[in-house]
Structure 1
Amino acid sequence: MKIAIVHEWLESYAGSERVVEQLLEIYPDADVYAVCDFLPDEERGFLRGKVPTTSFIQRLPRAQRWFRYYLGLMPLAVEQFDLSSYDLVISSSHAVAKGVLTGPATLHVSYVHSPMRYAWDLQHQYLRQARLDRGVKGALTRWLLAKMRAWDHASSARPDVILANSRWIAERIRKTWRRESTVVHPPVDIDGFPYRPAKDETYVIASRMVPYKRVDIVVEAFRAMPDRQLVVVGDGPEMTRVKAAAGDSGNITFRGRVPQEELVALLQSARAFVFAAEEDFGIGMVEAQACGTPLIAYGRGGASDIVREGETGVLFPEQTAASLTEAIRRFEALPIAPEACRANAERFSREAFRRRVRAEIDAALAARAP
């Protein structure tokens, strides 16, 4: 078979790029397409030496810094890729990649990280955070998002098969596109987070300091529980506000950004990993489980796919300090075994991802056979 993998844009080796990496493990001879490619040389290893075919956006003025400002042109860009010679096209999509054009002889399987969040249910949050909720720029942005929303819905009919990265995303796909999908959780490098059964009494949160991560409610909860220790890892624009929420609490320690080996050591020794965001999936939670560390997580989003309530952690129902505090007390009364947490993480390994994706694609190909 001749196979193409279509990705949104290549800027850094992050979560969605790890999906592309595993797709190339399954199909090493596949060609790679992307709206634009600005990966630094030191992060290109996962492409196996391949040079992606890019769109006209690659050549637009100041595209390396400003390519996101060309969002309105991206639907046109992906529709210009000529994929007519391929038997199988796999798109890795959180914005426009699933909108590529394929013919009836080509099977198109789209692995969807999410429908276009900022054009659908998170539009108002996005506009507030970008300070585009009023004025002329705000009105123009709303007009653009309305156009993107219409295209996103129309192009959702183009994939033959949709794979969703969590049940939460499958429900978002059903709500926004009126399409059914199969859940295939994203790949996690659990071998990079070795199991350690011995734990200390410290709770850990590791997160970018941005509003939706809600690190503020975590430090607020621990500020009210001075007999419990919390280590906060990460940095970002919300750091000042988060530190203000912590006040002068002596039980909360801010580490900022830490090297990978230090992060792994913190996760291995933590009594529990605390997670307060509503995420599409939440790879950091799986990494903590791989270390044998229980989770205390907000119960919406991907956390409900990861946490086995009462066995590998607990979920709290509201994004408030009070709800989190109650969950911590409930967690401390449970006999959660570190080995159960590690076993749970195995469900999300890279090997499990490759196995599931290959099975879904093979079944779809078989169904098309004469």
Structure 2
Amino acid sequence: MVATPTELILPVTHQSSGLGGARIALCHEWLTTFGGSEVVAGRLAAALDIEDVYSYTVNEALASELFPASRVQAISRSGRTKLAQRHWQWLLGAMPSAWRNLDLSDYAVVITSSHACVNSIRTRPDAIHISYCHTPMRYAWDWRSEIGRFPGFVRPLWPRVAARLRAQDRARASNVTKFIANSRNVAARIERNYGRTAEVVYPPTDTDYWCPDPSVEKEDFFLLAGRLVPYKRPEIAVQAAEVAGVPLVIAGSGPMLEQVRATSGDNVRVVEAPTRSELRDLYRRAKALVFPGEEDFGMTMVEAQACGTPVLALGRGGALEAVKHDATGHLCGGGSASEFAGAMANFESAAYGADLLRAHAEGFSIQRFDRAIRRIVKASLSLSYGVSS
């Protein structure tokens, strides 16, 4: 998912959640850039009428867009520095203690939007801690795909650091009353890494906004959209497009932007910071969205399908749930550039029905997400406090 903060128009007006007046706080890892986990956090706050949101570091403009009806606070002095805003990953070691020291004693329910250290929080003894887990901590469990984000002098030490982080992350899981996973893929990681079961609630997609436009005609280009980070493997899309001799539009930015530009030919065009409306237009016009990385779930894939565009993706991870193979897209088993090139050369978007694409995407709607989250919180309150709806 790619969009500038000022283009974020998710429906975030709070509704009556029917939770018996229980005070609820939301804790999100960090608010520095706009991405899928931030969209989910914003929707959690809206669905549950959450007034108080906490994050290690806060980009004020982003916070005001995502949480217009909430108070958003950075939890520590270190999180209010420019270093935290620009290089939050360098401060991972400081985050657990910052979260542990946060006073959450006023809240009966604390929701964590977790993918790193936020489950270090301490709640009062009778409180409910529900963790919406985007993935277990990548820097601990999947550190090889993330090590490029760290300074060079740290990298030789990271295998030992990751082993320690895994032990800490596993211990943090014991603080959680209930886990929610964003996919069956992540639920399996939670069980494997933490020994805990998780209920799956897919992330919300604004299917009212991401929709087809019958007046827009399909074009011949493939689209790669999202953050340009190593685990998403943007270089595979670039290599495959060159081999297949097809045009590729890259919509997004990130640490690999310059590498991608340096290795791209004349068939590649980069739209570095697309607005939300520009991204929707690209979805609608693209022959297919290409997604070569293994994703936790893949909101971008659902957005494309909601706009009537099929997906060409690696057949692993979240794509197995976000895409119906040979119905709403094609899944490549091996994931090599040559396999993607062959699929791109022979891809026919007309083979994928717009009605089926749309119907599949609507299964991941905001309304479905809201109902599921409220149901889980109500059930937890009923079990712990006897609160009924």
TM-score (normalizing by structure 1): 0.87
Tell me whether 231-240 or 278-287 shows the greater mean CA deviation.
Answer: 231-240
For 1:146, which of 163, 171, 186 is the aligned residue? 163
For 2:128, which of 89, 102, 107 is the aligned residue? 107
Give yes or no for the alignment of 1:352 onto 2:372: no
Q: Are 1:5 and 1:32, in contact at CA under 8 Å, matched by a contact in 2?
A: yes
For 1:27, which of 26, 42, 48 is the aligned residue? 48
Q: Are 1:13 and 1:43, in contact at CA under 8 Å, matched by a contact in 2?
A: no
- SS of residue paired to 1:263: helix
Summarize the Cα distance change of 1:77–1:302 in structure 2 as closer, same or farther, 3 Å threshold: same
Paired with 1:142 and 1:45, the residues of 2 have a C-alpha distance of 38
Deviation at 1:292, TM superposition (A): 0.7
Q: Are 1:217 and 1:320, in contact at CA under 8 Å, matched by a contact in 2?
A: yes
Amino acid at match of 1:277: G
Deviation at 1:327, TM superposition (A): 3.3
How do 1:1-12 and structure 2 match up within 5 A?
1-12=22-33
How do 1:199-218 and structure 2 match up within 5 A?
199-218=218-237
For 1:186, which of 203, 216, 219 is the aligned residue? 203
- Residue equivalent to 1:299: 315
Q: Provide the aligned C-alpha RMSD in A.
A: 2.7
Summarize the Cα distance change of 1:34–1:327 in structure 2 as closer, same or farther, 3 Å threshold: same
Q: Are 1:275 and 1:297, in contact at CA under 8 Å, matched by a contact in 2?
A: yes
Paired with 1:64 and 1:203, the residues of 2 have a C-alpha distance of 33
Give yes or no for the alignment of 1:177 onto 2:198: no
Q: Which runs of 5+ in 1 are unaligned?
A: none
Q: Cα deviation per residue 1:316-338 (whole Å; 9 max; x = unaligned)?
A: 01221222134346753983101
Q: Cα deviation per residue 1:301-351 (whole Å; 9 max; x = unaligned)?
A: 211111011211110012212221343467539831011111111122222
- Higher RCO (CA-CA < 8 Å; seq separation 6+): 2
For 2:117, which of 81, 96, 116 is the aligned residue? 96
Amino acid at match of 2:169: D
Deviation at 1:78, TM superposition (A): 1.0
- SS of residue paired to 2:316: coil
How do 1:55-94 and structure 2 match up within 5 A?
55-58=76-79, 62-94=83-115
Q: Cα deviation per residue 1:221-251 (whole Å; 9 max; x = unaligned)?
A: 232333x443333345544544565445xx5
- Residue equivalent to 1:18: 39
- Residue equivalent to 2:280: 264
Paired with 1:168 and 1:199, the residues of 2 have a C-alpha distance of 32
Paired with 1:12 and 1:238, the residues of 2 have a C-alpha distance of 16
Summarize the Cα distance change of 1:364–1:324 in structure 2 as closer, same or farther, 3 Å threshold: same
Paired with 1:237 and 1:76, the residues of 2 have a C-alpha distance of 28
Summarize the Cα distance change of 1:284–1:131 in structure 2 as closer, same or farther, 3 Å threshold: same
How do 1:199-278 and structure 2 match up within 5 A?
199-226=218-245, 228-239=246-257, 241-243=259-261, 245-247=263-265, 251-278=267-294
Summarize the Cα distance change of 1:357–1:218 in structure 2 as closer, same or farther, 3 Å threshold: same
Paired with 1:241 and 1:10, the residues of 2 have a C-alpha distance of 26
- SS of residue paired to 2:312: strand
Q: Are 2:182 and 2:202, in contact at CA under 8 Å, matched by a contact in 1?
A: yes
- Residue equivalent to 1:127: 147
Summarize the Cα distance change of 1:100–1:291 in structure 2 as closer, same or farther, 3 Å threshold: same
Q: Are 1:220 and 1:321, in contact at CA under 8 Å, matched by a contact in 2?
A: yes
- SS of residue paired to 2:71: coil
Amino acid at match of 2:30: W
Deviation at 1:210, TM superposition (A): 3.3
Deviation at 1:99, TM superposition (A): 2.2
Deviation at 1:355, TM superposition (A): 1.1
Q: Cα deviation per residue 1:251-279 (whole Å; 9 max; x = unaligned)?
A: 54444444433322121122211111111
Summarize the Cα distance change of 1:258–1:335 in structure 2 as closer, same or farther, 3 Å threshold: same
Paired with 2:50 and 2:235, the residues of 1 have a C-alpha distance of 46
Amino acid at match of 1:107: I
Q: Are 1:55 and 1:80, in contact at CA under 8 Å, matched by a contact in 2?
A: no
Q: Which runs of 5+ in 2 are unaligned?
A: 1-21
Deviation at 1:295, TM superposition (A): 0.7
**What count of residue pairs does the alignment treat as equivalent?**
362
- SS of residue paired to 1:111: strand
- Residue equivalent to 2:336: 320
Give yes or no for the alignment of 1:362 onto 2:362: no
Deviation at 1:214, TM superposition (A): 2.2
- SS of residue paired to 1:265: helix
- SS of residue paired to 1:10: coil
Amino acid at match of 1:200: E
- SS of residue paired to 2:248: strand
